[in-house]
C-alpha cells in the first residue's frame, strides 16, 4: 500500500465518521431527506464564497456553504409552517432551487475554474492526496485530511458535550422545551454540524455520497441495536468499514471510489435488512410464522378442552372441522405432542394434565388481556424449546 492509498482510506474513514454522527440523529429525527437537501443547496454558498475570496481553499467557502445549508433548513420549515404543503414537498421545492442557483452561477462566471458540476456531485477522493498543505518546506499532508479532521474533532467534542441534550430533544422535544433545553437551539446546532460536515466531506466524496454516508450507516445501525450509544458506534464502524472496503473494490475494478463506497454501504444495509437478528425481515417473518403456529396450537388445545366427546377429538375430525391444511395440522399436533400437552390413543386426542393447566391459564390471560403474562407463561411451559 502506497502512502497515497493510505491517505485516501484515512480521509474516507474520517469522512465516514464525521457523517455517521449527525446522520444517526437525522435518522432518529426522521429527517434523512434534509441531508439530501443540504448536500445540494450548499452549492451556491461555495460559489459565492469563491467569487468573494477568489481562492478555492478559502475557509470562507466552508462558512458560506454551511450558512446556505442552514438557510435551506429554515426555508423548508418556513414553507412547511404555512400548512399549504407537506415537509417532503417543501424539501423538494427548496433544494433544487438552491442547487440551480449554484449551477447558473458557475455556468455564468466560473467556467475557467476547478468548480464543475461533476466534481460537485461525485467528488474525486482519488485526487485528494495531490492537494497538500506545506509549512515552509515541510509536507503537512493532504488538505482534505486537515479539513475533515478539524470538522470531525469539533463534531466529536459537540457530541460529547451535548449528548444528553441531543438525546432528550430527539426523543421528546416537548419535555426538552419544558426542562429548558430549547429544541430549536439544538435543532439548528445539529443542522449546522450537518451542513459543515457536508461541506467538508463533499470536496472529497461529492454531494451524493455525503448523503449515503450520513443515512446508510445510521439506518443499518438502527436495525441492529436498541441503545443510542451503540447505534452511534455501529454507524461509525459500518461507515468506516464501507469506506475501506469500497476503496479496495474501486481499486480492484478500476472504478470510482465514491461510487464503490456507496455500493458497499448499500450492500451492507441490504444484508442487515435481511439478516438483522431482531428487526431483520427474515427474523420478522420467522416470528410471524411462529406466532401463527402458537395461535393454532392454542386454538387446538382450546377445542380439546371444550369437548369431552370422543368423536370431536378424533384426528380425522380435527382435520375436517378445524379446516386446517394437512401440514398445519401435523405441525400443531407434533408441537403439542413434543411439549407433552396431549396424548393420542387410537386416533383419539386427549389433553394431558400439563395441557389442561396450560390451556386454562392461557384462557384466563387472554380474557384479561395480559400479554406479558402469556409471554412469561410460554417460557414457563418450555414452548418452542428443544
Partner 1 sequence: MQEQNAIKVDDLTVAYNYKPVLWDIDLVIPEGVLMAIVGPNGAGKSTLIKSILGIIKPLAGSVKVFGKPYQKQRDKVAYVPQKGSVDWDFPTTALDVVMMGTYGSLGWIKRPGKKEKKASLEALEKVGMLPFQNRQISQLSGGQQQRIFLARALVQNASIYLMDEPFQGVDATTEKAIIQILKELRKAGKTVIVVHHDLQTVPEYFDWVTFLNVKKIATGPVKDIFNDDNLTKTYGINYKVSMQK
Minimum Å distance from CB 31 to partner 1? Answer: 12
With CB under 8 A as the contact rule, the residue among 48, 106, 213, 231 that binds partner 1 is 231
With CB under 8 A as the contact rule, the residue among 171, 270, 275, 382 that binds partner 1 is 171
- Measured from the CB atom, is 93 or 177 closer to partner 1? 177
- State yes or no: residue 172 binds partner 1 (CB under 8 A): yes
Sole window of 8-16, 147-155, 167-175, 237-245 interacting with partner 1 (rule: CB under 8 A): 167-175
DSSP string, 174-237: HHHHHHT--HHHHHHHHHHHHHHHHHHHHHHHHHHHHHHHHHHHHHHHHHH-S-HHHHHHHHHH
User: Rounded to the nearest 5 degrees, what angle is found at the Cα of 355, between the Cα atoms of 352 and 358?
Assistant: 155
- Measured from the CB atom, is 308 or 369 closer to partner 1? 369
- State yes or no: residue 4 binds partner 1 (CB under 8 A): no
> What is the CA 281 to chain-centroid distance, rounded?
15
- State yes or no: residue 372 binds partner 1 (CB under 8 A): yes
- Is residue 213 within 8 A of residue 201, CB to CB? The reply is yes
- Measured from the CB atom, is 163 or 270 closer to partner 1? 163
**309: alpha, beta or left? (left if phi > 0; alpha if psi -120 to 50):** beta
- State yes or no: residue 202 binds partner 1 (CB under 8 A): no
- State yes or no: residue 157 binds partner 1 (CB under 8 A): no
* Binding string, residues 28-47; x marks residues near partner 1 by CB under 8 A: x-x-----------------
Minimum Å distance from CB 182 to partner 1? Answer: 10
# chain residues binding partner 1, by CB under 8 A: 30
Going by the DSSP 8-state scheme, the letter that residue 340 receives in this structure is T
Minimum Å distance from CB 148 to partner 1? Answer: 26
- Is residue 146 within 8 A of residue 229, CB to CB? The reply is no
**Which parts of 65-104 interact with partner 1 (CB under 8 A)?**
83
- Measured from the CB atom, is 228 or 322 closer to partner 1? 228
The contacts found for 312-315 with CB under 8 angstroms, 24 or more apart, are 313/348, 313/349, 313/350, 314/347, 314/348, 314/349, 315/344, 315/347, 315/348, 315/349
- Measured from the CB atom, is 96 or 280 closer to partner 1? 280
Spatial CB neighbours of 116, under 8 Å, sequence gap ≥ 6: 106
**Which parts of 292-331 interact with partner 1 (CB under 8 A)?**
none
Q: What distance in Å separates the CA atoms of residue 219 and residue 217, rounded to the nearest whole number?
A: 5
Q: What distance in Å separates the CA atoms of residue 333 and residue 45, rounded to the nearest whole number?
A: 69
Q: What distance in Å separates the CA atoms of residue 240 and residue 9, rounded to the nearest whole number?
A: 9
Minimum Å distance from CB 179 to partner 1? Answer: 4
Length, in residues, of the chain: 386
Sole window of 46-54, 105-113, 160-168, 327-335 interacting with partner 1 (rule: CB under 8 A): 160-168
With CB under 8 A as the contact rule, the residue among 25, 50, 99, 222 that binds partner 1 is 222
Spatial CB neighbours of 188, under 8 Å, sequence gap ≥ 6: 70, 73
- State yes or no: residue 178 binds partner 1 (CB under 8 A): yes
- Measured from the CB atom, is 30 or 289 closer to partner 1? 30
- State yes or no: residue 225 binds partner 1 (CB under 8 A): yes
- State yes or no: residue 228 binds partner 1 (CB under 8 A): yes
Q: What distance in Å separates the CA atoms of residue 20 and residue 24, rounded to the nearest whole number?
A: 6
With CB under 8 A as the contact rule, the residue among 86, 230, 330, 380 that binds partner 1 is 230
- State yes or no: residue 153 binds partner 1 (CB under 8 A): no
The residues binding partner 1 (CB under 8 A) are 28, 30, 83, 161-165, 167-168, 170-172, 174-175, 177-181, 222, 225-228, 230-231, 369, 371-372
Amino acid at each position: 500500500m502506497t502512502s497515497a492509498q493510505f491517505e485516501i482510506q484515512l480521509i474516507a474513514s474520517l469522512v465516514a465518521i464525521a457523517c455517521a454522527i449527525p446522520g444517526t440523529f437525522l435518522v432518529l429525527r426522521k429527517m434523512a431527506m434534509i441531508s439530501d437537501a443540504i448536500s445540494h443547496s450548499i452549492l451556491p454558498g461555495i460559489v459565492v464564497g469563491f467569487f468573494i475570496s477568489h481562492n478555492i481553499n478559502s475557509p470562507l467557502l466552508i462558512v458560506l456553504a454551511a450558512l446556505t445549508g442552514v438557510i435551506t433548513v429554515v426555508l423548508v420549515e418556513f414553507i412547511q409552517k404555512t400548512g399549504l404543503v407537506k415537509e417532503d414537498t417543501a424539501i423538494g421545492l427548496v433544494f433544487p432551487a438552491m442547487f440551480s442557483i449554484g449551477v447558473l452561477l458557475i455556468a455564468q462566471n466560473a467556467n475557467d475554474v476547478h468548480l464543475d458540476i461533476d466534481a460537485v456531485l461525485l467528488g474525486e477522493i482519488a485526487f485528494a492526496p495531490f492537494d497538500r498543505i506545506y509549512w515552509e518546506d515541510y509536507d503537512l499532508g493532504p488538505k482534505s485530511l486537515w479539513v475533515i479532521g478539524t470538522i470531525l474533532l469539533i463534531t466529536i467534542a459537540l457530541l460529547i458535550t451535548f449528548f444528553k441534550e441531543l438525546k432528550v430533544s430527539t426523543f421528546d422535544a416537548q419535555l426538552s422545551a419544558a426542562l429548558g433545553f430549547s429544541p430549536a437551539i439544538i435543532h439548528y446546532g445539529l443542522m449546522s454540524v450537518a451542513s459543515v460536515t457536508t461541506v467538508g466531506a463533499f470536496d472529497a466524496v461529492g454531494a451524493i455520497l455525503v448523503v449515503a454516508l450520513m443515512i446508510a450507516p445510521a439506518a443499518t445501525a438502527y436495525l441492529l441495536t436498541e441503545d443510542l450509544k451503540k447505534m452511534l458506534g455501529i454507524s461509525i464502524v459500518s461507515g468506516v468499514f464501507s469506506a475501506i472496503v469500497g476503496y479496495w473494490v474501486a481499486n480492484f475494478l478500476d472504478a470510482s471510489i465514491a461510487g464503490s463506497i456507496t455500493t458497499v454501504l448499500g450492500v451492507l444495509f441490504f444484508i442487515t435488512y435481511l439478516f438483522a437478528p431482531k428487526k431483520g425481515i427474515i427474523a420478522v417473518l420467522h416470528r410471524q410464522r411462529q406466532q401463527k403456529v402458537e395461535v393454532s396450537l392454542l386454538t387446538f388445545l382450546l377445542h380439546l378442552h371444550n369437548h369431552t366427546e370422543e368423536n370431536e377429538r378424533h384426528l380425522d375430525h380435527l382435520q375436517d372441522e378445524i379446516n386446517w391444511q394437512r401440514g398445519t395440522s401435523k405441525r400443531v399436533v407434533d408441537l403439542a405432542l413434543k411439549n407433552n400437552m396431549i396424548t393420542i390413543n387410537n386416533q383419539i386426542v386427549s389433553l394431558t394434565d400439563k395441557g389442561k393447566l396450560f390451556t386454562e391459564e392461557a384462557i384466563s390471560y387472554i380474557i384479561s388481556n395480559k400479554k406479558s403474562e402469556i409471554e412469561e407463561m410460554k417460557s414457563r411451559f418450555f414452548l418452542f424449546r428443544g
